[in-house]
Amino acid sequence: MKPRHLLTLADWTSEEILAVLDLADRVKARPDDFATRLARKTLLMLFEKPSLRTRLSFEAGMTQLGGHAIYYSTQGSNIGGKETIEDTAKTAGRLVDAIMARLYSHETLEKIAANAGVPVVNGLTDYSHPCQILADLLTIREKKKRLAGLSLAYLGDSKNNVTHSLLFGCAKTGMSISVGCPAGPEYEPLPEVLSLARAAAKKSGARVVVTHDPGEAVSGADVVYTDSWMSYHVPKDQEAARVAILKPYQVDSGKMKKAAPGAIFMNCLPAARGYEQTAEVIDGPQSVVFDEAENRLHAQKALLLVLLGRDRD
């Protein structure tokens, strides 16, 4: 039987996404009930890029489920050099029960999934970051008691893994999403992502909007979300030019006032105060960024249980 993967939320139905969230609620409420579910199971965690939350939440999650996680940095390894990615995946699949990988290229992740023979989880590629958005949906549902019918505004760099996954996650769960970003292919979501998200939104009754007017994007939103202007894959020498172009999309208290009363502020972190949002917003009462970070743990524990077929008693 072919293993189930999570490479992008575009591949998952809304029912499958909601089932992970429901299980995550149970795992969060009663962690002891799941303490031995992944006994003797091993997760390989492959990293080409840095991480705090992804590494800690997967590693702690495996410990809490009775399993074990191996941290493997590709720096100084043979991957893609002396050893092909296919051979690496085939070897790993003989030795571990699942693989989580944080990579530059999404195609490399797809190659791992095609060859490993065990479930593969996207821990972030340049294209998407589905685990983050599972945690975000869990957080939004905790705070707002529903997903369908809400509206989320995303401001900032939108040719971006987090924006892409938000587009899929919102559209599939019936949340409208309004993306506010500079014009041009450098900053807008990929057209293929928009067309997949629009097709999903048509089914769920949500709306997908891209605007270059940040005020229009946040107007009446229940959730205001932003992400780094300098994603891990963006070269440092582009910083000054990007900051100048993205500055009008900074989430500040003026923009939060345009959102719905009681709107929450989210950032997947790492965050830079004074850049994608002001300190006043991220450190203010509407910010839920650390609940979001914690929910990585609960959402991913549920995801691993589903992928390893250990979600039922």
Is 233 marked active-site? no
Q: 14 vs 57, which CB is nearer to ligand CP?
A: 57
Helix 130-144 to helix 289-307 angle (10° resolution) is 120
End-to-end CA, the chain? 22
Residue 132 interacts with ligand CP (CB under 6 A): yes or no: yes
Task: Answer with the entry of ligand CP, ligand NVA, none that 160 interacts with (C-beta below 5 to 8 A by kind).
Answer: ligand NVA
Tell me: does residue 48 bind ligand NVA (CB under 6 A): no
Residue 227 binding partner per list ligand CP, ligand NVA, none, with a CB distance cut-off of 5 to 8 Å that depends on partner kind: ligand NVA
Distance separating alpha carbons of residues 99 and 112, to the nearest angstrom: 9
Distances (CA, A) of 235 to 128, 272, 313: 18, 16, 47
In the complex, what is the shortest distance from the CB of residue 292 to ligand CP, in angstroms, rounded to a whole number?
8
Q: Which of 64, 115, 160, 267 binds ligand NVA (CB under 6 A)?
A: 160
**In sequence order, which residues have a C-beta less than 8 Å from that of residue 21 and are 6 or more positions away?**
134, 137, 138, 141, 299, 302
Q: Pick from 6, 27, 162, 256: which binds ligand NVA (CB under 6 A)? A: 162
Asked whether position 268 contacts ligand NVA by CB under 6 A, the answer is: yes
Is residue 225 within 8 Å of 281, Cβ to Cβ? no
Closer residue to ligand CP in complex, CB, 115/163: 163
Q: Is 269 in the site for ligand CP (CB under 6 A)?
A: yes
Chain residue at closest Cβ approach to ligand NVA: 231
Interface pick for ligand CP out of 35, 39, 52, 183 (rule CB under 6 A): 52
Tell how far CA 60 is from the center of its chain. Answer: 18
Q: What is d(CA 222, CA 145) in angstroms, rounded to the nearest whole number?
A: 12
**CA–CA separation, 266 vs 258, rounded Å?**
16
Q: Decide if 246 contacts 157 (C-beta within 8 A).
A: yes
Is residue 102 annotated as part of the catalytic site, yes or no?
A: yes
Contact between 227 and ligand NVA by CB under 6 A: the answer reads yes
Question: Which amino acid type is present at position 23?
Answer: L
Q: Which of 132, 250, 277, 300 is catalytic?
A: 132
* Among the listed residues 115, 139, 158, 161, the single contact to ligand NVA using CB under 6 A: 161
**170, 205 Cβ separation under 8 angstroms:** no
Find the shortest distance in angstroms from Cβ 212 to ligand NVA. Answer: 20
**Residue number with CB closer to ligand NVA (270 or 309):** 270
The answer to whether the beta carbons of residues 152 and 176 sit under 8 Å apart is yes
Query: Is 170 designated active site?
Result: no
Catalytic positions, please? 102, 129, 132, 227, 268, 296
**Contacts with ligand CP, residue ranges (CB under 6 A):** 51-54, 124, 132, 268-270
